[in-house]
Amino acid sequence: DAGVIQSPRHEVTEMGQEVTLRCKPISGHDYLFWYRQTMMRGLELLIYFNNNVPIDDSGMPEDRFSAKMPNASFSTLKIQPSEPRDSAVYFCASRKTGGGTEAFFGQGTRLTVV
């Protein structure tokens, strides 16, 4: 398996624009997580899905952020409108039931909002 695949790897956008980050989890994994990492706040869990259903979105910073998982092989994280403080590295991770606490992370998307 190619692992968790995220796109794009880098994104630079202007404040106010819509940004969509994409993730393809490992086939057969039934959990999908979206994290954000900054120097100030470290790794923060934004939202996670189990069997394509959002379970906990309490980490989503505000209504400008939304996430979807239309099927088992694809998820998006959308920011609309984007703000400079959204600049961070966004990671997607997946896990399979019975796999203990092991989750597999993608390479991340580095988002810069100017």
Partner 1 sequence: LAKTTQPISMDSYEGQEVNITCSHNNIATNDYITWYQQFPSQGPRFIIQGYKTKVTNEVASLFIPADRKSSTLSLPRVSLSDTAVYYCLVGTFSGAGSYQLTFGKGTKLSVIP
The residues that touch partner 1, with contacts defined as CB under 8 A, are: 4, 31, 33, 35, 42-45, 48, 50-51, 55-56, 91, 93, 97, 100-108
The DSSP line for 81-110 is S--GGG-EEEEEEEE-TTSTT--EE---EE
Are 62 and 69 spatial neighbours (Cβ–Cβ below 8 Å)?
Answer: no
CB closer to partner 1, 64 vs 96 = 96
The two structure tokens encoding residue 98:
């019975």
CB closer to partner 1, 17 vs 97 = 97
Please count the residues of the chain: 114
We find the least distance from the C-beta atom of residue 42 to partner 1, in angstroms, to be 6
CB closer to partner 1, 27 vs 97 = 97
